[in-house]
Amino acid sequence: MNKRHFIQTAVTLATWAAFGSAQAQTALKFQLDWRFEGPAALFLQPAAKGYFKAAGLDVTIDSGNGSGGTVTRVASGTYDMGFADMAALMEFHANNPDAPNKPVAVMMVYNNTPAAVLALKKSGITKPADLSGKKLGAPVFDAGRKGFPIFQKANAVSNVAWTSMDPPLRETMLVRGDIDAITGFSFTSLLNLEARGVKAEDVVILPYADYGVKLYGNAIIASPKLIKENPAAIKAFLTAFAKGAKEVMANPAGTIGTVKERDGIINVALETRRLQLAVDSVLASPDARKEGFGQVNPGRLSLMASQVSDAYGTKTRVDPKAVWNGSMLPSAAELNVLPPAKK
């Protein structure tokens, strides 16, 4: 073989190798629960560092407009996987018993729901019992509002009147005094209140998890079609995700740039703080450390299924076995991603 022929052959082989590698990449469409804010770094970091690609995946990550929409879009086949509130997933299952493609949770990320009641100190509200007889406000689809009957029962709260509004008005109406308290994700509503001139020390936060409501929060969900046809791709995704999530939790400030790359107008300092609050309150919570990142406790999941069935008034009862499949989770060593506990 002459030198020229050798070079041509080498180039051809390299081209085919690259083509084969590209062909081997499994395309996955993934939808977040919300906009590109701080916590989105958990998914954007492994993408930016090439962890998904190294795992043989071509992952497209899109922003969302609420967990309910994410569940519906994965169910419709528009997306292969997504990030959604566990209660929203349970609600979809129980209200659509005949749906052919009900998504399934494959990894728990927010071990505790971020839902909380927030009020201003000047209202005199300091504990759940103080909410009795008060005016609360939240969008009708807010996870905290939908789950409030569970919080209400656990804390003997009575005679609450609700005011509905679009999400951007929730904190504004609280500041104006139109309502006494709101429900929302703690790390979102607190920062929204600060953006409206309220100091953090003037806000009372009553996290559901601290007041007897042990609901799970957001999980990674997958379509049953993908689970059946390519469980290896899901495991590869979860393994790459865990690797990136470990880096994010260890250094929120150093990884927030991945969010800035997707949404150039974000306030980096604000979103770094939002991410740190999420890490402290729901990602690396005491419950997450006890159960293990990514995992669920079967008894706790069953209790949540029952509570959601009652609070959400679903058409059928939630079957906890139908909403969870942990068989594709990475190894225990790969799930050892939580930062050291703060002293």
pLDDT tens, residue by residue, 268-324? 999 999 999 999 999 999 999 999 999 999 999 999 999 999 999 999 999 999 999
Same domain, 107 and 220: yes
Q: Is the pLDDT at 117 greater than 90, yes or no? A: yes
Q: How confident is the model at residue 24 (pLDDT cuts 50, 70, 90)?
A: confident
pLDDT, mean of residues 126-137: 98
Which pLDDT score is estimated for 112? 96
Q: Name the residue type at position 51.
A: Y
**What CATH code is carried by the domain that includes residue 165?**
3.40.190.10
Decide which of 163, 185, 210 is a domain's last residue: 210
Two structure tokens written together for 193:
């209140």
Beta carbons of 227 and 202 less than 8 angstroms apart: no
Residue 89: phi and psi, rounded to 5, are -65, -45
d(CA 127, CA 64): 33
Range of the domain at 308: 3-112+216-323
Q: Name the residue type at position 307.
A: Q
pLDDT, mean of residues 178-206: 96
What Rg value do the Cα atoms of the chain yield, rounded? Answer: 22
Decide which of 210, 238, 259 is a domain's last residue: 210
Residue 138: phi and psi, rounded to 5, are -175, 160
**Cα dihedral angle (289, 293, 299, 301), rounded to 10 degrees?**
130
Residue 335 within any structural domain of the chain? no
Q: How confident is the model at residue 21 (pLDDT cuts 50, 70, 90)?
A: very low
Which pLDDT score is estimated for 328? 98
Name which of 235, 233, 222, 241 is nearest 77 in CA terms.
222
Contacts of 240 (CB under 8 A, 6+ apart): 46, 51, 52, 54, 55, 57
Same domain, 26 and 42: yes
Which pLDDT score is estimated for 8? 53
d(CA 131, CA 107): 34
Which pLDDT score is estimated for 343? 74
Which pLDDT score is estimated for 70? 96
The overall average pLDDT reported for the chain is 93
Decide which of 210, 237, 261 is a domain's last residue: 210
Share of the chain above pLDDT 90, in %: 90
Which pLDDT score is estimated for 5? 54
Residue entry with tokens 């209200």: 95
Same domain, 103 and 119: no
Other Cβ atoms within 10 Å of 121 Cβ, number = 13
Q: How confident is the model at residue 337 (pLDDT cuts 50, 70, 90)?
A: very high
**Cα dihedral angle (209, 242, 56, 80), rounded to 10 degrees?**
0
Same domain, 72 and 221: yes
d(CA 33, CA 268): 20
Same domain, 244 and 108: yes
Q: What is the total count of domains within the chain?
A: 2
Residue 336 within any structural domain of the chain? no
Digit-coded pLDDT (tens) for 202-247: 999 999 999 999 999 999 999 999 999 999 999 999 999 999 999 9
